[in-house]
């Protein structure tokens, strides 16, 4: 019974041992097969890695040699076409700069299209007016008087065009400064053109009965007044009793219109004894313009105690002092 029990125990033990052994062997087998798998995977990885490295290496080498040859050809090209290349580069720089400029300008222009169009219309209008002005200026002397009228209206048109332009410019916001500057420059050009073209053209007509000479209107009166009346009459006409420049041409013009009549001019030495013009500016004596022996402040005229204090142009075309109360024709002048 004991033996049996023992043998039974040992059998149990043997079975246990068997199981344990089996367990261990399966465990070892497991470990063994896992290790083999890892080694295999590692090996495959290595092979793949090496192959890839090799391929990459080959690829890189080919690329490198291609790059080298390309660089060689490029550098040879570079040295051979260097000036051309520089030129091209500069041109390209300029082109790209221009393009960017163009882009900015066109962007601005498109926002301003309407305003700019309007301004350009007015500009062409103004230019047309300028052209007509020019042709007017060039036309005959005979037509001058008539042309002056059209010139005046052209000028008025120009002025209104310019003021319209100015207000248009003012209405442009600060965002559109580029265009504004352009318009302002155009305006300035126009204004300088205008003033250049109109500088030598008298812009005003003389009143009827008055004579235009250079930049003055002259009235050779047909009625007769004493000197102070004549002076006041001219003043009332917004003119001045004649003040004469030391100018031979002007004297020739005056004599053409006075001889053989006598006319008061704006000269007097009354109250001060010094000869001066009707506008109180001093007169510089030039005896060549006076009749011989004049001014003589003659007192034998029987018109009072005082001598002769007022200047006249006499029938000889020269100056004389006469008594201021004498009534005679006179000359007024407006200068502009
Ligand atoms: C070198 O320049 C020539 C002409 O100047 C051109 O045809 C050729 O393509 C260039 N070579 C390279 C590699 O750019
Ligand atoms: C400027 O740009 C416009 C379009 O934005 C294009 O039509 C035009 O040809 C360009 N001009 C120049 C000189 O590049
Ligand atoms: C000029 O005439 C006015 C009006 O007849 C007279 O009052 C004045 O005294 C005269 N002047 C001279 C200087 O005679
Ligand atoms: Ca005198
Ligand atoms: Ca005299």
For residues 111 and 332, the model is more confident at 332
Rounded to 5°, the CA angle 206-131-155 comes to: 35
When the pLDDT of each residue in the chain is averaged and rounded to a whole number, the result is 83
270 C-beta closer than 6 A to ligand 3:
no
Quick one: pLDDT at residue 32? 73
pLDDT tens digits for range 62-83: 988 999 998 888 888 777 766 6
Quick one: pLDDT at residue 17? 73
- Residue among 92, 95, 99, 102 to mutate when testing ligand 2 (max atoms within 8 A of CB): 102
Which residues, listed in sequence order, are joined to residue 321 by a DSSP beta bridge?
Answer: 311
Is omega for the bond preceding 29 within 30 degrees of 0, making it cis? Answer: no
Span of 113-127, 205-219, 300-314 with lowest mean pLDDT: 113-127
Identify the helix (H) or strand (E) that includes residue 333.
strand 329-335
CB 143 within 8 A of CB 75: no
Specify the pTM.
Answer: 0.42
Query: For residue 334, what are the CA distances in angstroms to 81, 122, 210, 221?
Result: 75, 35, 10, 14
Confidence category of residue 227, pLDDT binned at 50, 70, 90: very high
Spell out a b/e string for 29-61, using b for 16 or more CB atoms within 10 Å of the CB, else e: eeeeeeeeeeeeeeeeeeeeeeeeeeeeeeeee
pLDDT tens digits for range 135-181: 776 766 567 677 778 878 888 888 887 787 777 656 755 557 777 78
- Residue among 91, 95, 106, 110 to mutate when testing ligand 2 (max atoms within 8 A of CB): 106
Question: What is d(CA 167, CA 187) in angstroms, rounded to the nearest whole number?
Answer: 12
Q: How far is the CA of 308 from the centre of ligand 3 (A)?
A: 15
Confidence category of residue 287, pLDDT binned at 50, 70, 90: very high
pLDDT tens digits for range 228-249: 999 999 999 999 999 987 889 9
73 C-beta closer than 6 A to ligand 1:
yes
Question: What is d(CA 310, CA 228) in angstroms, rounded to the nearest whole number?
Answer: 9
CB 297 within 8 A of CB 310: no
Query: For residue 233, what are the CA distances in angstroms to 178, 254, 294, 314?
Result: 56, 20, 26, 20
CA torsion sign for 263, 265, 269, 271 is: positive
325 C-beta closer than 6 A to ligand 3:
yes
| Residue 328 scores a pLDDT above 90 | yes
Which residues, listed in sequence order, are joined to residue 263 by a DSSP beta bridge?
Answer: 313, 329
274: alpha, beta or left? (left if phi > 0; alpha if psi -120 to 50): beta
CA atoms within 13 A on the CB side of 76: 5
What homologous superfamily does CATH list for 211-335? Mannose-Binding Protein A, subunit A (3.10.100.10)
CB 330 within 8 A of CB 218: no
Quick one: pLDDT at residue 2? 53
pLDDT tens digits for range 245-276: 788 999 999 999 999 999 999 999 998 889 99
Query: For residue 111, what are the CA distances in angstroms to 106, 108, 119, 179?
Result: 9, 5, 14, 10
36 C-beta closer than 6 A to ligand 1:
no
| Residue 127 scores a pLDDT above 90 | no
């Amino acid at each position: 019974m004991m033996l049996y029990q023992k043998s039974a125990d040992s059998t149990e033990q043997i079975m246990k041992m068997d199981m344990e052994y089996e367990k261990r062997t399966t465990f070892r087998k497991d470990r063994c097969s896992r290790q083999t798998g890892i080694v295999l995977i590692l090996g495959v990885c290595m092979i793949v890695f090496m192959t890839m490295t090799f391929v990459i290496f080959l690829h890189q080498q080919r690329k490198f040699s291609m790059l080298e040859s390309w660089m060689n050809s490029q550098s040879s090209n570079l040295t051979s076409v260097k000036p051309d290349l520089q030129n091209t580069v500069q041109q390209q720089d300029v082109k790209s700069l221009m393009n960017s400029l163009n882009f900015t300008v066109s962007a601005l222009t498109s926002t301003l299209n309407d305003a700019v169009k309007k301004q350009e219309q007015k500009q062409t209008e103004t230019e047309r007016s300028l052209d007509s002005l020019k042709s007017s200026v060039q036309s005959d002397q005979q037509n001058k008087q008539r042309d002056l009228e059209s010139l005046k209206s052209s000028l008025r048109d120009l002025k209104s065009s310019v003021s319209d332009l100015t207000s248009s410019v003012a209405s442009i916001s600060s965002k559109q400064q580029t265009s504004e500057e352009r318009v302002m420059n155009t305006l300035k050009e126009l204004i300088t053109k205008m003033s250049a073209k109109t500088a030598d053209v008298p812009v005003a007509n003389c009143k009827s009965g008055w004579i235009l000479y250079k930049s003055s209107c002259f009235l050779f009166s047909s009625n007769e007044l004493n000197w102070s009346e004549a002076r006041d009459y001219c003043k009332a006409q917004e003119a001045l009793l004649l003040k004469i420049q030391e100018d031979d041409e002007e004297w020739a013009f005056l004599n053409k219109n006075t001889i053989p009549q006598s006319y008061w001019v704006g000269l007097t030495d009354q109250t001060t004894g010094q000869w001066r013009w009707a506008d109180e500016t001093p007169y510089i004596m030039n005896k060549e313009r006076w009749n011989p022996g004049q001014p003589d402040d003659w007192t034998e005229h029987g018109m009072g105690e005082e001598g002769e204090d007022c200047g006249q142009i006499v029938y000889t075309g020269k100056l004389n002092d006469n008594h201021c109360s004498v009534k005679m024709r006179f000359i007024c002048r407006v200068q502009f």
